[in-house]
Chains A and B, each alone.
Chain A
Amino acid sequence: MLNSFRQSMAWVHTWFGLVLGFVLMVAFFFGALSVFDREIDRWAIPETRFEPQPMPSYDNLLKQVFADLKPHPLDMAATAERVIGDLPAPETMPMVGLFAYTTHRDPVLRIGAEFAIPNKPIDPKDDHLHVHGWATIDPRTGAALPDDQLKIGSNWFYPMHYSLQVHWKNIGVFVVGLAALVMLVALVTGVIMHRKLFKEFFTFRPKKRTQRSTLDLHNMTGVVALPFHFFFAFTGLVIFASFYYFPVSGTLLKPLHDRHEVIEAEHTGLPHDEAGVPAELASVDAMVAEAKRIWAERDMAGEVGLLMIEHLGDANGYVSIYRAGSDRVALVGEGIHFKASTGEVLREEPPSDPVGAVNEFLTGLHLQHFEHWTLRWLYVAGGLLGCICIATGFVFFVEKRKQEHAKRRLQGCRLVDAMAVTTVTGMVLAAVAMLVANRLLPDAMPGRGDWEKWTFWGVWLLSLLHALWRSAPVAQARSNPAWREQCWALALACVAAVLLNWLTTGDHLLKTMLLEPYWAVAGVDLSLLACALVSVFTARRLARTVEVKQASRIGGVAYE
């Protein structure tokens, strides 16, 4: 496109990196937080601060819990728009399928069910016509947690990581997907631009002027964590590929896919459809015991992670029991399926074919259901290195151009810098402010979770307005004081969150670390304090940064 191959690649790196960088920053930061999503949940919902629990007994506890579970009003409303005629009353809908899911880090248990409806769909191709119900329960008692309590870690930060919480037409998922592709592009073009890969591994000159040391840091973080970044962007895309990005099986190749499903159902012996004959459910606990015995026989003794029942109450019903994958990287369920009415084994899933095994390993390494705390922290470090790489990219973009923009009275740098403030300090501030709101809002407040979400968006918006309002100096080639000010605000918010956690729950760090160790909460508190320290350090450092008046080109690198 441009004069040379390297210049073209540099152009792609600069401009795609800049525009999608803002999205990548969100994906990397909230991805890093998602590594500890369950722990953040515990911090945000103090009633659930107890030890992780195994899957409870179905016969003695879950059976009754599911009997009480009703279609969720939200899904009732959503389904009503897809069908002809009015839906029957929720109490009358028969439950035809259910699941219960837990991990080695979950004190609480997520459950869900499908309810059959007689209505025909408006769109004849709409073949999944069920109303869903869901709940989170305390597996020790079966008591449901209030629906209003937002799981800030697993239901807000984690979906933010892959969807930006923009759910309309799945736009968010596609934007994040494009950003992930651009991450791959940026890594390849970055390497093409530089060539001195080995040297950059060890080069960081913090005492040089901002532009030089920023570029050092950008290159170093990019190169040091290159395999990590490439791997996560790539596997993130693969995880969503068949459902969102290339849904061939649901569209163009649907006939082929559906034909395969029917053949597979015959092959596996698991009934594809209902028989239409009612049947009782045998003891599920006995099936769980049998599944555990079979796993132990394969030298893979373990707990149940996922329990599912298909065609519930029908003669074709079957119970599927999957292992919790806490002792290996690959996401293998070792599923064992039982006939629901008798408890006889219908099918033991065979080991995956090579392609499936590779896929399970890749997605497993991204989704990390395994139990390995050191590796978990390395993931956080990798994610934060990615954030540094992207943020220094923004800073370098601005530093390189702001002298020239000031001379030519352009506002581009000013805007990019304000956006950078918003996606760096503003984003962290929004996340921490949400935790502060979580501790300040009254427990019984209706729509409490929604207020937490509005706090998040509100603070983020304020940080943008603040950054824009304070941005005038950038147009004169100086720096935006919003960086420093938001660092101070962040430090305050972090300390406030830790103190509020102590005041409202009595769980101070001495208690959670030493007296009655509960590392989920202690870890969040310690991370908040670490964040406060980094913010204070950064704010003080920014205050004494000497403005460099003279702009000069950096040799050896084509960056236009």
Chain B
Amino acid sequence: MMVSASRGAIISRILAAIFGCYAFVWGVVALGVAALHGAGVEYHAAEQAMMMLAFLLYLGLFLWTFAAASVRRVWLVLAVGSAVMLAAAWQLQRMIIG
């Protein structure tokens, strides 16, 4: 095997690819739906558009997780990104509902 990564690093990447990316895409979907709807797009159209985008994004992120040089940076982007987007979606919703 030409594996030059440690077992721990590989497990970390696998978890990041499956769960980290999932959380990140969740954030994108939630923020996207809230933002599009806030901008006047019909709710279900916004939802459907984000659902179609979600898996292409997930696919890209999944591959990036294994291609990226630093697994630490992968985790940082995924964790901070998903937390920020989920919070932003929540805040945006509160603003829209008023």
Task: Give the interface of A toward B (CB within 8 A).
Answer: 1-3, 5, 7-9, 11-12, 178, 181, 184-185, 188-189, 234, 237-238, 241-242, 245-246, 248-249, 252-253, 255-257, 259-260, 264, 353, 355-356, 358-359, 362, 558, 560
Task: State the CA gap A292–B13 with chains docked (Å).
Answer: 56
CB distance from B44 to the nearest CB of A (A): 7
Q: Is the interface of B mostly helix, strand, loop or mixed?
A: helix
List the 10 closest pairs (A to B, CB-CB), nearest first.
A241-B51, A260-B43, A355-B45, A359-B48, A246-B29, A237-B55, A355-B49, A256-B93, A248-B30, A184-B59
Contact call A9/B47, Cβ cutoff below 8 A: no
Name the A residues within 8 Å of B10 (CB-CB): 1
Task: State the CA gap A185–B48 with chains docked (Å).
Answer: 22
Task: State the CA gap A359–B44 with chains docked (Å).
Answer: 11
Name the B residues within 8 Å of A7 (CB-CB): 2
CB distance from B91 to the nearest CB of A (A): 11
Contact of A241 among B3, B42, B55, B66 (CB under 8 A): B55
Contact call B97/A256, Cβ cutoff below 8 A: yes
Contact call B5/A2, Cβ cutoff below 8 A: yes
Q: How many A-B residue pairs have CB under 8 A?
A: 112
Q: List 9 A-B contacts (CB under 8 A).
A: A7-B2, A8-B66, A188-B59, A246-B51, A248-B89, A253-B34, A256-B43, A256-B97, A257-B43
Number of interface residues of B (CB under 8 A): 44
Q: Is B96 an interface residue (CB 8 A)?
A: yes
Contact call A3/B93, Cβ cutoff below 8 A: no
Q: Is B1 an interface residue (CB 8 A)?
A: yes
Q: A248-B33, A252-B90 are in contact. Are A242 and B51 (CB under 8 A)?
A: yes
Contact call B44/A356, Cβ cutoff below 8 A: yes
Nearest-CB residue, chain A, relative to B59? A184
Task: State the CA gap A113–B86 with chains docked (Å).
Answer: 37
Contact call B45/A353, Cβ cutoff below 8 A: yes
Q: Using an 8 Å CB-CB cutoff, how does the interface string of B11-42 with A read, 1 for contact, 0 for none? A: 00100001000000110011001100100001
Task: State the CA gap A189–B13 with chains docked (Å).
Answer: 16
Q: A2-B5, A9-B63, A246-B25 are in contact. Are A253 and B45 (CB under 8 A)?
A: no
Contact call A181/B58, Cβ cutoff below 8 A: yes
Task: State the CA gap A242–B30 with chains docked (Å).
Answer: 11
CB distance from B38 to the nearest CB of A (A): 9
